[in-house]
């Protein structure tokens, strides 16, 4: 079975630094998610001194995506701000780690906690944080 080529991702340098620190801080308690996030961060192109373009998912972005033939809209947040019922998804979830740094039109396969693989496609970055 051929391995899927991962899409390129883009992050600002401040956000990249903060996310690496977060992943390292939770490594002992939640190594699987920390490893997933660190893997994504290691392959990111880091933009120094400015924010990525508005079509790129970053922390605080509200994004619409399609997964398993269903469309959803969520906001990507840090763990303390997560609230699934309100549509705020933590970066420390498998889907949160999959979303970060993608841009509209890109797709990625991600593995849920139950071991099943899903494909998501970014439809639109609806709103960016201030």
Give tens-digit pLDDT for 35-73.
Answer: 999 999 999 999 998 888 999 999 999 999 999 889 999
Quote the tokens at residue 108: 């990625």
**According to the model, what pLDDT value does residue 1 have?**
41
DSSP one-letter string for 26-86: TTTT-HHHHHHHHHHHHTPEEESSSPPPTTB--TT-EEEEEETTEEEEEEEE-GGG-BGGG
3-state SS class at 99: helix
Q: How far is residue 113's CA from residue 103's CA, in Å, rounded to a whole number?
A: 24
Q: What is the mean pLDDT of residues 11-18?
A: 95
Report the distance separating Cα 107 and Cα 1, nearest Å: 19
Q: Is 49 left (phi over 0), alpha (psi -120 to 50) or beta?
A: left
- Tokens 């991702």 label which residue? 9
How much is the pTM?
0.89
Q: Are 52 and 12 in contact (CB under 8 A)?
A: yes
Question: What are the pLDDT digits (tens) for 96-116?
Answer: 999 999 999 999 998 887 888
Question: Domains (ranges, CATH) in the chain?
Answer: 10-127 (3.10.50.30)
């Amino acid at each position: 079975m051929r391995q899927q080529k991962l899409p390129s991702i883009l992050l600002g340098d401040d956000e990249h630094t903060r996310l690496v620190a977060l992943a390292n801080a939770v490594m002992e308690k939640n190594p699987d998610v920390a490893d997933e996030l660190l893997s994504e961060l290691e392959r990111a192109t880091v933009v120094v001194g400015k924010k990525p373009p508005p079509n790129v998912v970053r922390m605080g972005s509200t994004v619409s995506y399609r997964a398993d033939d269903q469309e959803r809209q969520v906001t990507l947040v840090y763990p303390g701000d997560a609230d699934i019922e309100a549509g705020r998804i933590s970066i420390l979830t498998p889907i949160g780690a999959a979303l970060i740094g993608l841009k509209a039109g890109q797709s990625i396969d991600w593995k849920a906690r139950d071991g099943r693989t899903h494909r998501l496609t970014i439809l639109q970055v609806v709103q960016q944080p201030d």
